[in-house]
Amino acid sequence: MFPNSNLAILLILFTCTAYIPTKGTNYDQEYANQILSSAHKEKDWLVSIRRKIHENPELRFQEFNTSALIRSQLDELGIFYEHPFAGTGLVAQIGSGFPPVVALRADMDALPLQELVEWEHKSKVEGVMHGCGHDAHTTMLLGAAKLLNERKDKLKGTVRLVFQPAEEGGAGASYMIKEGALGNAEAIFGMHVDFEGPTGSIASIAGPALAAVCFFEAKIVGKGGHAAEPHNSVDPILAASFAILALQQLISREVDPLNSQVLSVTYVRGGTASNVIPDYVELGGTLRSLTTEGLLQLQKRVKEVIEGQASVHKCKAHVDMKEDDFPSYPACVNDERLHQHVKTVGGLLLGPENVKEAKKVMAGDDFAFYQQVIPGVMFSIGIRNEKIDSVHPPHSPHFFLDEDVLPIGAAVHTAVAEFYLRGRSDSGLNGDG
């Protein structure tokens, strides 16, 4: 028996330690072959699910049909789930029902984007498209549910499968957390398709991986008048011009060059006539930082600069960080031990040559909200295949998915979860008695 204090320390250490499977053992290779084989046998089913979702995309918090499709499949498989979370989300649970508990997450929502790829299963909804691969994410997690359910008696703990709405700007993860979707999960893994990595590869990185993100808009109000008499007006276009130039100095002169931040003004609107100074100008854009603290500081300074420049030019400014429409996302920071776990399991399934070091990118993902609660890793899975033109980036109307990734992703999800539970159980802290 350990003294209480020592036991508490050991519990914390084990909780933060992911299992790293032994490389090269016959059992591990046998497992890898088995799970990949089982996944590939489900390819036709996975493709059919993905195409149904792709043809019928739904925007954030409107994923009612997608959610119903997932639930119908879980019902057929006899898998327990809870619903709803965050309106359309659901959480399936497989295993013993006891700790350790690990979570896998997939997002379900589509983009307000017109698909320009002409193929048999093109989106049937005008102006809405799965242009970021969330249809694949959902399908791969559903595939993992099937594979894990087939092995449920061997699971040394519990897997929670989190099907989440509203990743695209709606901060759906934060609502899922508030409503208890994580349960007793102690770690979480998320996977995102990557158009740069070849199909059959994965990539991960420890530490900062994705940026903290927010959007902003500003309205600079002056006094309109005839362009021939500017002295009788208060020109908001001039004020907006100085504000935009001043904003660029925030990155070049106030941020440590070793700390990555981005400030982009993406639109300016003001006036409709060539000979009239308008009453106001609107502008807006996005702010990004590889640290959450950096984003908060940038938000503060953007407001100060726009209001200050407006005042200098005798205008007034109203700055809105759009929290109601597009809540700020924290930075996505990957846990070091879980990152190593993903690399090792990925190497076991796919071969070490197909496990890459991911690049930091200034895109954001609300997976970061989960990482503020428990350790987690967001890693990528390649879909690049020049032969079928699966080469376009997310949020492109030409985005196209190599469906060969579906069984691979299902297998990776399954192995990452099962090996994690096995390692935690082997540590002696299985929590069931």
Q: Report d(CA 184, CA 176) in Å as an integer.
A: 14
Does pTM surpass 0.85? yes
Asked if residue 100 has a cis previous peptide bond (ω within 30° of 0), the answer is: yes
CA distances, 183 to each of 132, 166, 340, 376, 415 (Å): 28, 20, 24, 15, 21
Name which of 433, 424, 417 is nearest 94 in CA terms. Answer: 417
> CB count, 10 Å around CB of 49?
22
What is the longest distance spanned by two Cα atoms in the chain?
A: 89
Q: From first to last of the 433 residues of the chain, give the pLDDT tens digit.
A: 333 434 333 343 444 444 455 444 445 888 888 999 999 999 999 999 999 999 999 999 999 999 999 999 999 999 999 999 999 999 999 999 999 999 999 999 999 999 999 999 999 999 999 999 999 999 999 999 999 999 999 999 999 999 999 999 999 999 999 999 999 999 999 999 999 999 999 999 999 999 999 999 999 999 999 999 999 999 999 999 999 999 999 999 999 999 999 999 999 999 999 999 999 999 999 999 999 999 999 999 999 999 999 999 999 999 999 999 999 999 999 999 999 999 999 999 999 999 999 999 999 999 999 999 999 999 999 999 999 999 999 999 999 999 999 999 999 999 999 999 998 877 655 544 3
Check residue 26 and give its pLDDT. Answer: 47
Q: Are 151 and 66 in contact (CB under 8 A)?
A: no
Name which of 345, 353, 317, 357 is nearest 413 in CA terms. Answer: 345
Pairing outcome for strands 225-226 and 276-277: antiparallel
Side chain identity, residue 243: A
Cβ within 8 Å of residue 97, ≥6 positions away: 158
Which 8-state DSSP code applies to residue 393?
P
Q: Are 133 and 394 in contact (CB under 8 A)?
A: yes
